[in-house]
């Protein structure tokens, strides 16, 4: 895979006239462009913004100030023999203007034979439909671990401080996924507060990371406190996860093991699929990122594809991590038939290609309730390490689920509850329905100013109609699909065929 510098230099040599680079890291990008320009002859850099116009040459000082069309005419009027890279900051704001749009399309034709390249720098992709054919979008990734380490060492040298290699590595890992400007800001804040960098500063960096991820409005940094022991039943799935606990270590790389790719958890609502995603993150000590696939879709042309690339870039920058995609079936249901100009199809294509080809340690945990809605490509081998079917808990698993919840709610008098009877009297209840039953029983006890009892739980259970009865056909289809060997069973003793 080409680096940004390699791809950008190739586009310059191939005389791509109009290049669009979405990134919030304006300063770092301009420095990278300057480094690329040094490798080519006859490539002066001209930088324009709306407030100050062109600024790099005394002869051009202020040209195009508050006039984006004049900024483009400046490029056009330079002699053909004069090469240059013309950086236009925030120019995406003017692309809807008919005169600017027309001028860009004219330049796209006239500059093909000249050593001139117009570079539009913008925080995100905002391209009108009429310009999609002439603008080439190039991604500018977040700083690599090497770049972050160099910046940390530069700041250390400036303060005359030295840190152990292990602490520097920890700071680098905590900083991955942040822009260089944010890293500088938070580390400078650490130095200003106590005169040096300390191990405790890792938490400040992580908080900055949470803030940064929230601002993307694509991923959520999800706190995971759930443990594997909080999952009642699902023994096959838990064994599979426990065996892979050390698979992200350097020892595993030396052994020759690839990074685990991910899991697709298919099954009935309320059976612990989302809980499993959180428990994986906690057990493996990896950050948990939650993706709402609906947030990938934007209204502007190219925006959805750009957000998908941004999500992938951010997840890989934060790796090793767990990427949790809840109810993926709802996002990509009927992907081929959606009347959105092929946007959903392109986003889906980008996503599954990344799933199949990713080398980064991003462990994807996708959950789905409706297997019929999932495109067949999602189920193909190579997308995920394993597909597990999570069915309704059998009696022994219901005992385990009641025990987990009651141990948390009433640890001091757990033995007063008849857990075997409770499990026996709640056939076809999911884990979520068992939890709701206990909440209802607590309401009964609280309203009578006493603690809730086994009888209260049984009374609450009698008032709940489980999903297994209200959605019997859908659940039977899921069970038959799993019984046909399409997925591995999450439980050692499956409840398949009991409805």
Query: For residue 202, what pLDDT band results from cuts at 50, 70 and 90?
Result: confident
Q: Is the peptide bond before 320 cis (omega within 30 degrees of 0)?
A: yes
Three-class SS state of 339: coil
In terms of Cβ atoms closer than 10 Å to its own Cβ (0-12, 13-18, 19+), residue 129 is exposed
Strands 262-267 and 362-368: parallel
Query: For residue 497, what pLDDT band results from cuts at 50, 70 and 90?
Result: very low
More confident residue, 199 or 434: 434
Query: For residue 228, what pLDDT band results from cuts at 50, 70 and 90?
Result: confident
Residue 207 tokens read as 């908080």
CA distance 37 to 47: 13
- Lowest-pLDDT range of 56-65, 332-341, 437-446, 455-464: 332-341
CA distance 234 to 488: 11
Residue 297 tokens read as 């879709």
Given a cut of 50, whether residue 359 has pLDDT beyond it is yes
* Helix (H), strand (E) at residue 267: strand 262-267
* Angle between the N-to-C axes of helices 165-175 and 145-159, in degrees from 0 to 180, rounded to the nearest 10: 120
The pLDDT value recorded for residue 22 is 92
**pLDDT tens digits for range 230-256:** 887 788 888 898 888 788 777 888 888
Q: Is the CB of residue 296 less than 8 Å from the CB of residue 421?
A: no
Written as one string, the DSSP assignment of 168-220 is HHHHHHHHTTS-HHHHHHHHHHHHHHHSS--TTHHHHHHHHHHHHHHHHTSEE
The pLDDT value recorded for residue 454 is 93
Query: For residue 101, what pLDDT band results from cuts at 50, 70 and 90?
Result: very high
Query: For residue 496, what pLDDT band results from cuts at 50, 70 and 90?
Result: very low
Beta bridge partners of residue 290, listed in sequence order: 220, 324
Written as one string, the DSSP assignment of 100-158 is HHHHHHHHHHHGGGSSEEEEEEESS----GGGTTT-EE---PPPPHHHHHHHHHHHHHH
* CA-to-CA separations, 323 to 17, 19, 141, 220, 402, in angstroms, rounded: 37, 31, 19, 10, 29
Given a cut of 60, whether residue 67 has pLDDT beyond it is yes
DSSP assignment letter at 93: G
**pLDDT tens digits for range 124-165:** 888 998 999 999 999 898 888 889 999 999 888 888 888 888
pTM of the model: 0.69
In terms of Cβ atoms closer than 10 Å to its own Cβ (0-12, 13-18, 19+), residue 135 is buried
The pLDDT value recorded for residue 436 is 92
Nearest alpha carbon to residue 490 among 211, 191, 233, 150: 233
CA distance 18 to 391: 53
Percent of the chain having pLDDT more than 70?
96
Nearest alpha carbon to residue 460 among 476, 447, 443: 443
User: Mean pLDDT of all residues in the chain?
Assistant: 86
Q: Which of 68-72, 113-117, 194-198, 409-413 has the highest mean pLDDT?
A: 68-72
Residue 338 tokens read as 């959606």
């Amino acid at each position: 895979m080409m680096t940004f510098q390699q791809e950008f230099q190739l586009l310059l040599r191939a005389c791509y006239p109009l290049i669009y680079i979405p990134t919030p890291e304006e300063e770092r990008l301009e420095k990278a462009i300057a480094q690329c320009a040094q490798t080519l002859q006859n490539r002066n850099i001209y930088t324009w913004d709306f407030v100050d116009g062109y600024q790099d040459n005394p002869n051009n000082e202020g040209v195009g100030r508050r006039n984006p069309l004049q900024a483009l005419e400046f490029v056009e009027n330079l002699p053909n023999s004069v090469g240059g890279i013309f950086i236009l900051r925030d120019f995406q704001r003017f692309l809807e203007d008919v005169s600017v749009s027309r001028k860009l399309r004219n330049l796209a034709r006239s500059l093909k034979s000249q050593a001139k390249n117009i570079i539009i720098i913008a925080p995100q992709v905002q391209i009108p439909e009429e310009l999609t054919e002439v603008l080439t979008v190039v991604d500018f990734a977040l700083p690599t671990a090497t770049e972050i380490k160099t910046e940390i060492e530069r700041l250390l040298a400036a303060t005359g401080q030295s840190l152990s290699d292990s602490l520097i590595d920890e700071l680098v890992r905590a900083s991955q996924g942040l822009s260089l400007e944010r890293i500088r800001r938070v580390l400078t804040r650490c130095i200003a507060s106590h005169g040096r960098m300390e191990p405790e500063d890792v938490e400040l960096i992580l908080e900055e990371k949470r803030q940064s991820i929230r601002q993307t409005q694509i991923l959520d940094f999800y706190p995971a406190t759930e443990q594997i022991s909080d999952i009642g039943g699902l023994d096959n799935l838990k064994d599979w996860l426990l065996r892979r606990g050390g698979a992200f270590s350097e020892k595993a790389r030396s052994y020759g093991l690839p990074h685990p790719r991910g899991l697709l958890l298919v099954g009935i609502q309320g059976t612990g699929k989302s809980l499993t995603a959180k428990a994986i993150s906690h057990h493996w000590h990896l950050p948990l990122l939650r993706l709402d696939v609906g947030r990938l879709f934007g209204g502007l042309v190219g925006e959805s594809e750009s957000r998908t690339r941004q999500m992938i870039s951010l997840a890989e920058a934060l790796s090793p991590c767990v990427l949790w995609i809840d109810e993926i079936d709802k996002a990509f249901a009927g992907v081929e038939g959606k009347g959105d100009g092929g946007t959903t199809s392109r986003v889906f294509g980008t996503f599954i290609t990344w799933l199949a080809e990713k080398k980064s340690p991003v462990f994807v945990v996708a959950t789905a309730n409706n297997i019929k809605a999932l495109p067949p490509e999602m189920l193909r081998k190579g997308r995920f390490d394993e597909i597990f079917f999570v069915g309704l808990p059998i009696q022994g698993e219901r005992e385990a689920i009641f025990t987990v919840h009651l141990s948390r709610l009433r640890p001091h008098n757990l033995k007063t509850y008849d857990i075997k009877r409770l499990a026996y009297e709640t056939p076809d209840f999911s884990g979520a329905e068992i939890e709701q039953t206990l909440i209802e029983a607590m309401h009964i006890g609280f309203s009578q100013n006493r603690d809730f009892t086994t009888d209260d739980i049984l009374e609450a259970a009698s008032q709940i109609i489980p999903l297994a009865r209200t959605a019997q056909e859908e659940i039977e289809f899921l069970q038959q699909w799993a019984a046909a060997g399409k997925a591995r069973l999450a439980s050692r003793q499956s409840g398949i065929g009991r409805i």
